[in-house]
Amino acid sequence: MKCFKTIALVSLLMTSSLTQASVVKVFDALLDKAQLETLLTSRGIFDRGVIGQVGKNVRYSLQDISSSSQTASMKELKAMAKSITNPDDKAKYADLMKVMSKDSKEITRDELVTTINSLVLLSQRYGVRSKSILACAPCVNKELAETGFNFTLNELKDPASQRIFKEMNKKAKDPITAAKFINSEVTKSKIGTAPSLSATDEEAFIYFLMIPRHGTEEQKRVYDAIIKVSRTKGGSTDIFDADNGHKLYNIFSDSLTPSELNLWEDLLEDTAKTMKEEEMSTMDAFYRTLEKRAEGVSDQAEKHDLMAKLDYIKREGCFSKK
């Protein structure tokens, strides 16, 4: 009997040990590409493009939180708490940390999506370094947004972006220093009154402000074109004018080639002409210019596709203040 009890006890202990070993915390699942894919598909997210982008978002976020060139450790993620001052961000962080320590088998789809959204946002606001830029998911990846993910991260590897990120890490490393930098640069550049930006626009706008000193020639020309379409009815420059209502600085949230930047410059120059000739606000002229271009396409299928994309851009407010 004693032998039986011993064997039974050992068996139970082994079973318990195996059960514990099979527990994968959410944080650990995010660190592993295969486990993250399994976690996403097990929660009904099957689109390969969405899974791939979510994987990149998580990887870039954890890299930006880490003080080394590697991915962040749980210790580094916990250390980030010291730098978070915004009450909303504190609440997001608290919920994030609760989920990170859970068994990945036990979290719901909503918890998973919310956790990744919070990780991406907080990493860009409080991470120790930058290598990517935050963008609004609906304007960059429709499928990603439809799945519930609010943001996407675009890695910008070109030399100009690397220079800008280096400066951002020095001068706008958290929401407080970012606000000070924005206020100072907007005043010095005389482009309006410093705004209260949403967290999703903040990073792109800081990038925009650094272009005159650190950008490429193509980026600088697009910057100048954005300033040109920021004229008010009174003739002054105000990038935040309510009547114009644009967020065209979000152009730089994407990785653009020189030829793509040239196309943007051309589009904005035409927008400026439309503003002047038809006495329109920035966004009305911008949409009208795009409509004219779509109407000039002879292929009906292509024209229909372009008009549908224009309607989507309007609806989501990708470059406008809703």
The beta-carbon contacts of 27-33 under 8 Å, at least 24 apart in sequence, are 27/74, 27/77, 27/100, 27/101, 28/104, 29/104, 30/58, 30/62, 30/100, 30/116, 30/119, 31/62, 31/71
In the DSSP assignment, the letter for residue 195 is P
In the DSSP assignment, the letter for residue 194 is P
The number of CA neighbours under 13 Å toward the Cβ of 247 is 25
pLDDT, position 305: 86
Tell me the C-alpha distance between 216 and 227, whole Å: 17
pLDDT, position 67: 85
Which residues are bridge partners to 320 per DSSP? 246
pLDDT, position 227: 96
Residue indicated by tokens 């009904």: 44
Question: Residue 77: what residue type?
Answer: L
Q: What is the pLDDT of residues 23-51, one digit of tens each?
A: 899 999 999 999 999 999 999 999 999 99
> pTM of the full predicted structure?
0.86
Residue count (the chain):
322
Q: What is the pLDDT of residues 174-201, one digit of tens each?
A: 899 999 999 999 999 999 987 778 888 8
Tell me the C-alpha distance between 83 and 37, whole Å: 31
Write down the mean pLDDT value for the chain.
Answer: 89
Q: What is the pLDDT of residues 71-118, one digit of tens each?
A: 999 999 999 999 998 999 999 999 999 999 999 999 999 999 999 999
The secondary structure of the chain in percent helix, strand, coil, rounded to multiples of 5, reads 70, 5, 25
Tell me the C-alpha distance between 38 and 26, whole Å: 12
Q: What is the pLDDT of residues 15-30, one digit of tens each?
A: 444 344 578 999 999 9
Structure tokens at 70: 């590697």
Which residues are bridge partners to 133 per DSSP? 154
Tell me the C-alpha distance between 100 and 58, whole Å: 13
**165 CB-near residues (< 8 Å, 6+ apart):** 129, 130, 131, 156
Q: Which of 99, 94, 112 is nearest to 43 (CA)?
A: 112
pLDDT, position 3: 47
